[in-house]
Amino acid sequence: MRKPIIAGNWKLNKTISESTELATQLAHSLSDINDREIVIAPIFTCLAATAAAIDNSPIQLAAQNCYPETSGAFTGEISPYFLQDVGCQYVIIGHSERRQLLLETDALINKKLHTAFTTELKIILCIGETLDQRDSGQMLSVLEQQIKGGLANVTAAQMNSVVIAYEPVWAIGTGKTATTEQAQEAHQFIRNLLQQLFNLEVASQIRILYGGSVKPDNVDALMKQEDIDGALVGGASLKAEDFVRIVRFN
């Protein structure tokens, strides 16, 4: 059985006091959860305060990005080593907003993964096609390229610390969710590809999250799909009530 993960990506939102307030509410409301992992990803400046707010709760801390070097003359950057130092258990890598706005390539994303592997951080690797790519029939080849590029030279053992998030770009922040069939098709494709690239054990153990306008009213149907092992949630993770309901999917 794969333990589901519900991860909240707070993006560029919430001050230190707002992050602390939300994290404290979540820690209180979700203290009984042990059959699924809960992860929240505040902005860098809020990581320390959020770590303190969720201490002794089942909630884990993630960063939204990292630099592909450990330390040195890289002004303004933050590495997996320092994310672990501040209390993160996870790092999100390759979010589509960074691929689009900051022109992150699969090669750069792959380098970030390899640097994160030198720490104990677990990685949420985001992939997903744009609407143009889907409409022109390139969805599967785009996913294949992102998986092969992002996971280049990664070993089966290293895959133990990787989670994949399938996030169709056209569904992120748009209110348009992939249908359960569309999501399941992509997840099954990704799992089969991982079996080819690694082995059956990796494919059957890896968690593949769905992301793209997950809300309290669509989470239950999505989570019933065989190959969907959780969700990466943007907008709806900013409200305690909504995120709690999503974590408590049934």
| Residues of the shown chain interacting with ligand PEP in the complex, contacts defined by CB under 6 A | 9, 11, 167, 172-173, 211-214, 232-236
CB closer to ligand PEP, 70 vs 130: 130
Q: CA–CA separation, 137 vs 142, rounded Å?
A: 10
Residue of 97, 104, 129, 167 marked active site: 167
The first and second tokens of residue 210, run together, are 């769905």
- Nearest approach, Cβ of residue 156 and ligand PEP (Å): 27
Is 80 or 234 the residue whose CB approaches ligand PEP more closely?
234
Q: CB of 7: closest distance to ligand PEP in angstroms?
A: 8
Is 167 labeled as catalytic in the residue annotation? yes
For 40, counting Cβ atoms within 10 Å of its Cβ (0-12 exposed, 13-18 middle, 19+ buried), the class is buried
Q: Which two tokens stand for residue 161?
A: 């610390």
Catalytic site residue 95?
yes
87 vs 216 by CB, closer to ligand PEP: 216
Tell me the closest approach of the beta carbon of residue 201 to ligand PEP, in angstroms: 28
Q: In the bound complex, what is the minimum distance in angstroms from residue 56's beta carbon to ligand PEP?
A: 27
Residue found by looking up tokens 């009984």 in the block? 32
| Minimum gap (Å) between residue 135 Cβ and ligand PEP | 19
- Interstrand relation of 90-93 and 208-211 (parallel, antiparallel or unpaired): unpaired
For ligand PEP, give the closer residue by CB, 126 or 203: 126
What are the φ/ψ torsions at residue 71 (nearest 5 degrees)? -160, 170
Other C-beta atoms closer than 10 Å to the C-beta of 121 total 22
> Based on CB atoms, which residue is closest to ligand PEP, 7 or 202?
7
Contact 98, 15 (CB under 8 A): no
Q: Which of the residues 95, 104, 129, 187 is marked catalytic? A: 95
Of 130, 117, 24, 32, the C-alpha closest to 68 is 117
DSSP 215-244: -TTTHHHHHTSTT--EEEESGGGSSHHHHH
- Catalytic machinery residues: 95, 167
